[in-house]
Structure 1
Amino acid sequence: MNDVACALLVSSLLSVLLATIQISIDAKTNDLRSIITSSFVFYILIMMIGNIITTLLSANLIDNNLPAPGSTKTSFLLAGPRWVWYSIFGVFGFEAIIQKVNVTFFDQGVLTIHDWLTKAKKSATAASLEKIVILNFQDSQLLATRLKAQLDQESIHTFASMQLGFDQYEKIIASIKGNDKINHEEYLAYVLAEQSPRVVKAKIRAR
């Protein structure tokens, strides 16, 4: 594999890594499940395309200004494999370049690549935040089901009273009292799983 091909591969991998880190920071999550969405894939594609273009530009720039590999001329600049420098300048020089590059449609300026990237990042972050809510609900439901399967009715009420505090426990019971559609134990298990997931997991493991 030649230097340019290696650089393009590294640039693509760095694009995925940087996009993942960025959305993780913006969405304030470490759960990879919540980051991976269709909007996130679109964001990666835009970033990857931009990084590949700038990597090719940096390769051309470096090759035109430094001695060719194997040449008797030596250069103390950019020592080491050239593909490393191609990808470094390509990926980390991308932000400086995209501010000036326009996307045109029928010779009309539409959006800069920076605009596309910004919009894609916002969309990916919003999709991640939405998925976090869904995943948290699903995780709480699963945890509540496991808790209810291991504790009998009396034990669930006792555990809820101790963990939530008697006053909050009484308020919860009062709020669902008389509603035949709500199973008290299932509801208490869900509240416990949502508010104290670590304690519930420890309780399940201890059984």
Structure 2
Amino acid sequence: MPTLSTREWALLSSTGLSLLIFAVELFRSSKVKFRFYFGTAGLAYLALLCFGNGVATLLVTKAASELDPPWLFQAFFGVFGFEGIIKNLNISFLDKGVLTFSDWLDKAKNNASAQALEQSINHNIKLEMRLAERLRNLPLATLNAYLLTLIGNDAPQALAAQATASQAHEALVKGLALAQADYTKASAIR
């Protein structure tokens, strides 16, 4: 099995640190589960981070080669040096500041965060719909009892009126109201 060179270890470490920064930044801005980060916008943001951090890591290989272990310090200085570079790097066209690299990275992060949040919301809606489909099979008297407990005294009548007015399935409307009010408690209903 071939061993990795110092440069390869540095790039691998830089990628690991990039993944950590990616996860922390997206969690901080979207507050959703990790699995929702890997949409197209999230992967684009991760690729930008890995590319920038990788290039910066390669640029500091000589400077950090005297420290032990060199690959760790190269990755560390590369990743955190990249932060300094992106704060000061401007792209100009015809003497007009078009965009800073920091702006590009912020836009990529914001898009990734928005996409992760949207995927999380869509996932939760699907779970609520699935639960409502299951709850609709309960007798109306049972659904009404749970509605009284979880939502309040007016819920059964108000939801029945809404279902009638919109010609919707009353048990499904009530099941969906339970799922949306408290998914965890509604999931325990059998």
TM-score tier (shorter): 0.7 to 0.9
Match status 1:23 vs 2:26: yes
After TM superposition, list the pairs within 5 Å mapping 1:1-207 onto structure 2.
Answer: 1-29=4-32, 31-63=33-65, 66=66, 78=67, 80-103=68-91, 110-149=98-137, 151-180=138-167, 182-203=168-189, 207=190
Q: SS of 1:17's equivalent?
A: helix
Q: Which runs of 5+ in 1 are unaligned?
A: 67-77
Q: Which runs of 5+ in 2 are unaligned?
A: none
Deviation at 1:200, TM superposition (A): 1.3
- Find the aligned partners of 2:184 and 2:130 in 1 and give their Cα distance: 13
The number of residues matched between the two structures is 187
- Find the aligned partners of 2:93 and 2:136 in 1 and give their Cα distance: 59
The TM-score normalised by the length of structure 2 is 0.86
Report the residue type matching 1:21 in the other structure.
V
- Find the aligned partners of 2:39 and 2:149 in 1 and give their Cα distance: 39
Q: SS of 2:188's equivalent?
A: helix
Decide whether the 8 Å contact of 1:157 with 1:185 is kept in 2: no
Q: SS of 2:99's equivalent?
A: strand
For the structure 1 residues 45 and 199, does the alpha-carbon distance in structure 2 shift closer, same or farther, using more than 3 Å as the test? same
Taking only the aligned residue pairs, the percentage that are identical comes to: 30
- Find the aligned partners of 1:9 and 1:89 in 2 and give their Cα distance: 14
For the structure 1 residues 3 and 161, does the alpha-carbon distance in structure 2 shift closer, same or farther, using more than 3 Å as the test? same
Q: SS of 1:116's equivalent?
A: helix
Report the residue type matching 2:13 in the other structure.
V
Deviation at 1:5, TM superposition (A): 0.2
For the structure 1 residues 43 and 106, does the alpha-carbon distance in structure 2 shift closer, same or farther, using more than 3 Å as the test? farther
Deviation at 1:49, TM superposition (A): 0.7
Decide whether the 8 Å contact of 1:7 with 1:86 is kept in 2: yes
Q: SS of 2:110's equivalent?
A: helix
- Find the aligned partners of 2:183 and 2:27 in 1 and give their Cα distance: 22
- Find the aligned partners of 2:124 and 2:148 in 1 and give their Cα distance: 23
Decide which moves more: 82-91 or 167-176. Answer: 167-176
In angstroms, what is the RMSD of aligned CA positions?
A: 2.2
For the structure 1 residues 101 and 61, does the alpha-carbon distance in structure 2 shift closer, same or farther, using more than 3 Å as the test? farther
